Amino acid sequence: MITKPKGTVDITGTDSILWEYVNEVVSTMMHAYNYEYIRTPIFESRELFHRSVGDTSDIVKKETYDFQDKGERNLTLRPEGTAGVVRSFIENKNYALPDIKKYFYNGTMYRYERPQKGRLREFTQFGVEVLGSNDPIIDAEVISLQYHILEALHISNLQVNINSLGDLESRENYKKALVKYLEPHLDELCEDCRERFKTNPLRILDCKVDKDSSILKNAPKTIDYLNKESKERFDTVLKYLDYLDIDYEVDSQIVRGLDYYDHTVFEIVSLDKEETKANVLGGGGRYNKLIKELDGPDSYGIGFACGMDRIIDVLKEIDLYKTVEKQIDCFVMYVSEEEKLYALDIVQNLRLNGVVTETNSLNKSLKGQFSEADRLKAKYLIILNNEDLQKGLVNVKDNATKEEEKVDISEIVEYIIGNL
């Protein structure tokens, strides 16, 4: 038997209903905030991710799916969404447009990780990228948008954990302080962290192995090394979040796992969940140097991403399925071949008018059709019989009140729509 690859899942049943629900909420909120949908290729030039995500990041060093195509081009399945959106922004010269660009995406990503709950090898993320503005109001907008999407999904007790990495000068000052602090403790850190110390010390703060060690908890804080301009910028972002009534906490350990971040970085957790550090629902940050590093103009960017799989897990934990459970509008019932022809016509007319309709397609008895209609939670039953049809009528039953009414067959669509 052929089975699905390790680290992948089939989205069916309850999961598929929740998946559709999340997609609908996300799309509605994105359009309300005036974000434009963008779809980029699932695979891109390997160089794109090595230059953007960073050769020293765990994603590039350990987790990317790299391959050569038949033309011997080096390609990579996308491990995250930002780099492809920025590449598209540059390649299509959208930086020449007069306004900032506000994009949202929703698609599959690929990382060769050890599969576990909330962490798959093929996973889906939705997110946003805002390109062209350095105003702190955009930082607040992006964080607010992510916060309110999760809130609209009925995930409660949300908190934004936020930090600032500052500008280049601030980062360099902090890096020197961090190196000085960590050097005497290298033997106490994991092998990966000892390697990161040589290549990119900030990555140590994002280590999954040593994250709870006293060494990292007592490490210097990035916000203590912000220069005046970076500190004022971060304070402004926090002021805007206060004004928007967004619950947040400054967390100096947040650096995020990608090399391109600067200034604002953030994650969102639900405080109702245990071990919130391990259950981050989404996060993001500002990347003011990335566009130029990918051969674009010296411009600005900020974004966030949320993992659909983790969100679906949370929605299942809070039994949201009971709220969004699938229900059809109508079930059309028949027994004879003559009734079946009428059923075909009625079903098609209802469906073309937006009424969710199902009918008997397994030659079930009338009793079996009643059972199927109940299983599908049909709001109305349209019960056909030859005697009524000869008079141009159909029998309609309200499945909640159990009341029945004879309706002219020519008016059945209007009747159902008017009562839904």
Lowest mean pLDDT among 12-16, 129-133, 258-262, 274-278: 274-278
Q: Would you list the domain boundaries of the chain?
A: 13-167+227-321, 170-223, 327-419
CATH of domain 327-419: 3.40.50.800
The C-alpha angle with vertex 402 and arms to 409 and 323, in degrees rounded to 5, equals 100
Q: Classify residue 6 by its DSSP letter.
A: T
**Per-residue model confidence as pLDDT tens digits over 260-306:** 788 999 999 988 765 444 578 999 999 998 999 999 999 999 999 99
Rounded mean pLDDT of the chain? 90
The C-alpha angle with vertex 282 and arms to 114 and 25, in degrees rounded to 5, equals 115
* Top-level class of domain 13-167+227-321: alpha beta
More confident residue, 375 or 215: 375
- Torsion angle of the four alpha carbons 264, 268, 271, 273, in this order, in degrees rounded to the nearest 10: -140
**Per-residue model confidence as pLDDT tens digits over 97-123:** 888 999 999 999 999 988 777 689 999
Supply the pTM of this predicted model. Answer: 0.87
